[in-house]
Amino acid sequence: MSLILDTPIDELKKSLVDKDEAKILSILEALEPTTKQAILHALQIELSLLSVLHSDENIQNKSREILGEMSVDFQTVEQGFAIFKSIVEYYPWMGDYKDLQRQNFEQFRTIKDHYEACLVQSPVFVELYLDLGRKLYMLFDLIDEAQLCFESIISYDQKNDEAYYALGRIFERKHQYDRALAHYERCIVENPENMYGLLQIGAIKVSVFQKYNEAIYHYNKAVEIDPYAAEVYVRIAEAYYAQEDIPRTKQFIEIALGINEFHEEALNLLGTVQWKSEKNFEKAIETYEKGLDHLMHGDSGLLLGSLGELYAVYLSDQEKAKLYYEKALKAKPQQPKRVRQLVALLNEFYQDYGAIEECFENYLRVEKNDASMYAEYAEFLVTYMHNYEFANEQVELALALDAEQDLALRIKHQIADYLTPEEEIDTDTDEDWDDDDDDDDDFVGGGAADSDTGPVSDS
């Protein structure tokens, strides 16, 4: 009892949410019903977090026991933090739990302001909070909910490099590249050895800003951190390939394959050099198939997509190209470049408008932040399906993401006369209807970009 009375409250608070489990238990054991109510109430937030989030069962039970003696409504606390339990118990491959996770997160939002400072400032609980955000984003595609987690962490801890990195990935997904780059740069300010932050800075500088030497500078920093990471050498090779420096490209591909001879992206880049630069189509096919023959990459959307492009563009075998594109998108639907290629092929050689519509729908079902693809879908609906109402819906979705999306604005103007009064939209604008829809470069998560300048991942 004297331990509690003699210890400052702030020190008790910090100790209860620290990593020393033995010390936490000793404090909990000292918190008796006779402890001054002012002390117990001052520790209520910490006790609540321990009761629902701590991994040690003894700590959980003792915290609940104390809260019960304080007449705290533990059921309300448990419901508020249900998302932390459901996110590790119900995974996407076990069933359709996205709505459950969304509902549980909404419950958490109602109480989070009360607990958040303690949640973020605890070295134990902040990791759970980061993990929650990552799983919401990566497993359930709950992007806005994940963003709120990471922004909340930064609001209390401006030095959390992992939260900056995670926000960078989210802004990248939303095609907000300036914001993404700013967050990656802040990430490595806070932790210069955050290798993933360095890789993503390089990826954006190559794919979006074409600042190749700056990208290579950051990649070299990553090499210093881990000289045996094959991915880094692939990124350097991609930067040189974008500058059409084939000898240096192949030099770094060889280093990557020396570390891992089946590295998916290294094989993809090597195959692309072989058929685009060296015109050795047979060797390129052999390289791609080497990756596909490996158990790890048998359904590689990246390698399958490259084979589809090779057969379509250079070998003029549209049937095989169609087959490989379809397999690529089945393996990995979020490949905008491959979607566009398959749509063009289906239109030119098959006139299969139903299949084209399915291509757009499948992609937009999993990628809801691509304004240019919504606009292209609208253009298809107007030109080939004459479905102006549904095209208008796609235009609205595109403009909600990017109010200045050129193609969407042009279609908005074009279809206004075909809509009923209830559906008609304002076309009073001084926009210059430029036909150049500059959306060729699609950023690729995981450190690469999908563009005509380089053979890279489309994820």
State the total domains in the chain: 1
Let me know if residue 55 belongs to a domain.
yes
Q: What is the pLDDT of residues 167-189, one digit of tens each?
A: 999 999 998 999 999 999 999 99
**pLDDT for res 387:** 96
CA-wise closest residue to 64 among 396, 73, 364: 73
Q: What is the pLDDT of residues 324-359, one digit of tens each?
A: 999 999 999 999 999 999 999 999 999 999 999 999
In the predicted structure, residue 44 carries a pLDDT above the cut 60: yes
**pLDDT for res 143:** 94
The more confidently predicted of residues 129 and 73 is 129
pLDDT band at 33 (very low <50, low <70, confident <90, very high): low
Q: What is the pLDDT of residues 414-428, one digit of tens each?
A: 999 888 665 544 544
Q: What is the pLDDT of residues 243-280, one digit of tens each?
A: 999 999 999 999 999 999 999 999 999 999 999 999 99
In the predicted structure, residue 2 carries a pLDDT above the cut 70: no
Residues 6 or more apart whose Cβ sits within 8 Å of residue 445 = 169, 172, 173, 457, 459
Q: Which two tokens stand for residue 375?
A: 């606009």
pLDDT band at 75 (very low <50, low <70, confident <90, very high): confident
**pLDDT for res 214:** 97
pLDDT band at 440 (very low <50, low <70, confident <90, very high): very low
Q: What is the pLDDT of residues 271-329, one digit of tens each?
A: 999 999 999 999 999 999 999 987 765 689 999 999 999 999 999 999 999 999 999 99
What is the mean pLDDT of the segment spanning 22-39?
A: 82
The more confidently predicted of residues 428 and 369 is 369
Q: What is the pLDDT of residues 101-121, one digit of tens each?
A: 999 999 999 999 999 999 999
Q: What is the pLDDT of residues 128-147, one digit of tens each?
A: 999 999 999 999 999 999 99
Opening angle at CA 449, ends 445 and 454, nearest 5: 150
Let me know if residue 113 belongs to a domain.
yes
**pLDDT for res 34:** 61
Let me know if residue 447 belongs to a domain.
no
- 450, β-bridge pairs: 442
**pLDDT for res 421:** 62
Full residue range of the structural domain in which residue 80 is found: 2-133
Opening angle at CA 295, ends 318 and 323, nearest 5: 15
**pLDDT for res 3:** 59
In the predicted structure, residue 39 carries a pLDDT above the cut 70: yes
In the predicted structure, residue 161 carries a pLDDT above the cut 90: yes
What is the mean pLDDT of the segment spanning 149-163?
A: 97
Q: Which two tokens stand for residue 284?
A: 């390129």
Let me know if residue 342 belongs to a domain.
no
**pLDDT for res 299:** 84
**pLDDT for res 458:** 42
Q: What is the pLDDT of residues 206-241, one digit of tens each?
A: 999 999 999 999 999 999 999 999 999 999 999 999
What is the mean pLDDT of the segment spanning 391-409?
A: 96
What is the mean pLDDT of the segment spanning 72-81?
A: 89
pLDDT band at 441 (very low <50, low <70, confident <90, very high): very low
**pLDDT for res 35:** 66
In the predicted structure, residue 433 carries a pLDDT above the cut 50: no
Q: What is the mean pLDDT of the chain?
A: 89
